[in-house]
Structure 1
């Protein structure tokens, strides 16, 4: 109740400032002030001020528990361990795929049916432009 009253008073003051600005023939600025002045009342009537207060209170309680409760610290340690294990498995998988790629027979060797023929790339691959080599070749074929 007090929050809604305070927001209504704040909106009324803002609208008074908007009317005073409009009296000075600054209509665009007065409209902007009126739009901003109506925000507190709209937020209070929609219940969003109360929601924000509850969220702030819950966050404050959680922060207090974070500092004083050892189980919260244990929870963060478990989360860190989980992230570390996930990262390690990603690194191992990446290294395994690199080694597997080096162990495959080169393209064009009989019996390597799954291997795709390699496209010769010149100095573009050193610069990082290898993605555009296919596009350049297509454009070159079409005479563009």
Structure 2
């Protein structure tokens, strides 16, 4: 319906008046806050107060007023809500392991085939380094105040 309908024009004017009043009241509160030397909070309040005024000036309030008082728009929101619920329900069923028998069978087969038969072989191929041989006799315990290892490291780095 065009906006020439008097009832729709009145709804739009009420919405614009409310938004403008909210903006003026917010700016007044921001001025009082600034007077109390709380400039950061005053600037934040002013920013929030200017949002409804900007919405009125861009025509968003007119669109919202038309949508809010339209039974067709509310039916559309209901259809969107039903679609959203169906989407969430199907996702929940899918995560619980639902689906067709063929999909479940394919998933089980994929889990069985996931382990490679040569999994114990090195993944990067044969190494050029000789294998480390374990020593038969354990190393003798070094005294705690022996700093020969540390000295060797320091000499290696030229310190």
TM-score bucket (shorter structure): 0.3 to 0.5
Structure having the larger proportion of residues in helix: 1
- Which one scores higher on RCO, CA 8 angstroms, separation ≥ 6? 2
- Structure 1 or 2, whichever has the larger Rg, is 2
Q: TM-score, normalised by structure 2?
A: 0.44
Report the TM-score when normalising by structure 1: 0.47
